[in-house]
Amino acid sequence: MNSSVLEMTRSALLVDAVVLAAFKGRLRGQLVQPGDDHYDEARQLYNGMIDKHPAFIVRCVDAADVQAAVNFARENDLLLAVRGGGHNGAGLGSCDDGLVVDLSLMKGIHVDSASSTVRVEGGCTWGDVDHATHPFGLAVPTGFLSTTGVGGLTLGGGLGYLTRRYGLTIDNLLAVDMVLADGRFITASADEHEDLFWAVRGGGGNFGVVTSFLFQGRPVSTVYGGPMFWEMEHAAVVMGYWRDLILTGSHDINGWFGFHTVPPVDMFPTEHHLKKTAVVTWCYTGDMARAEQVFAPIRAIAPLAMDFTGPIPLPALQSLFDGLYPPGLQWYWNADFFTELNDEVIDLHIKHAAQLPTVHSTMHLYPINGAAHQIGERDTAWSFRDANFAQVIVGVDPNPANNERMIQWSKRYWSALHPHSAGGAYVNMMMDEGADRVQNAYRGNYNRLTQIKARYDPHNLFRVNQNIKPGTS
Ligand SMILES: Cc1cc2nc3c(=O)[nH]c(=O)nc-3n(C[C@H](O)[C@H](O)[C@H](O)COP(=O)(O)OP(=O)(O)OC[C@H]3O[C@@H](n4cnc5c(N)ncnc54)[C@H](O)[C@@H]3O)c2cc1C
């Protein structure tokens, strides 16, 4: 047996066989271990750059399984990770050697059309939620891809097409059911465990395993949206116009800005293949009868290379880029918040975007104002309520041989922009960047988070995340 195999099974070897058999007997779900047929499939993460070998993967089917797994990990001193959608850039949905509470079989969703609320189990993706809510003419504000997990995205904040209209995903969260570090099952909401409810709205998976989320659905069905592409020579003008629109425009118009290399696939005319472009992907939720009028000045900003914007069901918009970013690609993330986007910053963007290292690599700026600014920075754990943009630079490619080149590009780009940033980043778009970066992400809310952490998880059982350490007083 070589040393890496020894390493990955060490925890399994230390657990008494009788204790393990008793644990297995308590589960309705599956226990997957190294050597089992489905082990390699079950440990796979969305980011192909991360390769972790847990000793136990517990594929839970209900809250009782989650309680059993949390108790088993704590009693046997195992490192514990929680997997929702497995999308996290830093691979925080898994761990080496320890136990993974895998929620991916917990897919229940219940839409209550009378109250327009949506109960979502912890293993759902946003595509699952869209599938269930769209027939009711409802949507939960979510991210820009349908394959991302509800769990990680929500607990970190949640930015998406509806942010300016209806706020962050956490601003639409009414309650969570959770298993705590001591195995207790509780509900946190505005009326029960209010401190915990405050903390989970941005504080990530630090406080327990959320087995289900209760969201307020919003009346959104067909929107006017999709991407518009411009040649790089127009990028500065487009970016400046987009910035002004996001800072001053009505909350029913949203759109993220990106730099993209046009993929050489049939849906794009061949003359654009492999060209670097400036892209805005729009989502307008206002009066559809006015949409053409609203978009006329946008279409006149500069000559358009390609325009795919029009009426589109929200679930289709939210899954538009799924095919471009299938699971298993190599991803390297660098993020920051920005309050301003002045002309000097725009020039820096254009300089670095001209060097996009691979077809999939990109820079996105997500608007985080509008309704998201109507919540105070102390009202939830998510503190950057004054920032207007969440910036993310990602080196992405199928081939690990390109990793070094795209990582260096991403770091150079981020370093050039960072001095102009608001000083912290969105936790869901960070790699493993150390304690200071986590603290900066929460600014003035960090101390309160450490106190709540001490109350609910004093021994830091839930530490495979952007970790908030338990406070001491
Ligand atoms: C391609 C891509 C697109 C993205 N787009 C967006 C976007 O549009 N908007 C946005 O806001 N973010 C976006 N993200 C970032 C995303 O929010 C994070 O990657 C998030 O961590 C993913 O959640 P997950 O459940 O899939 O991840 P996982 O890897 O399963 O988990 C991530 C973290 O959350 C914790 N966690 C997950 N579920 C639970 C739970 N039920 N209870 C307790 N802890 C839990 C895990 O322990 C881990 O620490 C995107 C990511 C990718 C890869």
Measured in Å, residue 90 CA sits from the centre of ligand 1 at 10
The alpha carbon of 81 and the centre of ligand 1 are apart by a number of angstroms equal to 13
Q: Which two tokens stand for residue 55?
A: 């000793």
Residue 301 is given by DSSP the state S
Q: What is the mean pLDDT of the chain?
A: 96
- Pocket of ligand 1 from Cβ distances under 6 Å: 46, 81-89, 92-93, 103, 122, 143-145, 148-149, 151-153, 155-156, 158-160, 204-205, 209-210, 325, 428-429, 464-465
* pLDDT class of 10 with cuts at 50, 70, 90: low
Question: Would you say residue 80 has pLDDT above 80?
Answer: yes
Task: For residue 152, give the ligand 1 atom closest to its CA.
Answer: 23
Bridge partners, 290 (sequence order): none
Q: What is the distance in A from the centroid of ligand 1 to the CA of 154?
A: 7
pLDDT score of 14: 76
Please identify, by atom number, the ligand 1 atom nearest to the C-alpha of residue 88: 19
Query: How far is ligand 1, taken at its centre, from the CA of residue 88, in Å?
Result: 5
Does 307 have pLDDT greater than 50? yes
C-alpha–C-alpha distance, residues 339 and 359, integer Å: 29
What's the gap in Å between 25 CA and the centre of ligand 1? 30
**What band does 2 get if pLDDT is binned at 50, 70 and 90?**
very low
Going by C-alpha positions, the residue among 289, 70, 316 that lies closest to residue 183 is 70
- Taking residues 340-369, report their average pLDDT: 97
* pLDDT on residue 473: 63
Where do we find the tokens 């949640």?
158
Looking up tokens 């999709």, which residue turns up?
226
Note the pLDDT tens digit of each residue in 165-195: 999 999 999 999 999 999 999 999 999 999 9
DSSP string, 329-351: -EEEEEEEEES---HHHHHHHHH
* Cα 85 to ligand 1 centroid, rounded to whole Å: 6
**Structural tokens at position 299:** 């279409």
CA 362 to chain centre: 16
Beta bridge partners of 393: 334, 363
First to last CA, the chain: 46
Nearest residue CA, atom 34 of ligand 1?
Answer: 152
pLDDT at 37: 94
For residue 7, pLDDT beyond 70: no
The answer on pLDDT for 41 being more than 70 is yes
Q: What angle do CA 157, 167, 192 make, to 5 degrees?
A: 65
Using the atom order of ligand 1, give the atom closest to the CA of residue 151. Answer: 38
Hey, which residues does 355 pair with through a beta bridge? Answer: none
Question: Taking 70 as the threshold, does the pLDDT of residue 1 lie above it?
Answer: no
**Each residue's pLDDT tens digit, 381-412:** 999 999 999 999 999 999 999 999 999 999 99
* Section 274-291 average pLDDT: 98
Rounded mean pLDDT, 248-272? 96
Instruction: Count other C-beta atoms under 10 Å from residue 376's C-beta.
Output: 9
Burial of residue 259 (number of CB atoms within 10 Å: 0-12, 13-18, 19+): buried
Average pLDDT over residues 353-358: 97
Q: Which atom of ligand 1 is nearest to the CA of 325?
A: 1
Q: What percent of the chain has pLDDT over 90?
A: 96
Closest-lying ligand 1 atom to the alpha carbon of residue 149: 26
The pLDDT of residue 195 is 98
Q: Which residues of 109-143 are buried (b: 16+ CB within 10 A; e: fewer)?
A: bebeeeebbbbbbbbbbbbbbbebbbeeebbbbbb
Q: For residue 211, give the ligand 1 atom closest to its CA.
A: 41
Band the pLDDT of 361: cuts 50, 70, 90: very high
Strands (E), 45-89: 56-59, 80-83
Kindly tell me if the per-residue pLDDT of 9 is higher than 70. no
* Burial tier of 303 (Cβ tally within 10 Å: 0-12, 13-18, 19+): exposed
E strands present in 75-208: 80-83, 99-102, 109-112, 117-121, 173-179, 185-189
Which pair of structure tokens corresponds to residue 427? 């936790």
Tokens representing 405 are: 């080149």
User: Model-level pTM greater than 0.75?
Assistant: yes
Q: Give 426-452 pLDDT, tens digit per residue.
A: 999 999 999 999 999 999 999 999 999
pLDDT (0 to 100) of residue 472? 87
- Residue 351 Cα to ligand 1 middle (Å): 30
CA 355 – ligand 1 centroid, Å: 28
Which pLDDT does position 6 carry in this prediction?
A: 47
Residue nearest to ligand 1 atom 47, measured at CA = 82
Q: Is the pLDDT score of 108 beyond 60?
A: yes
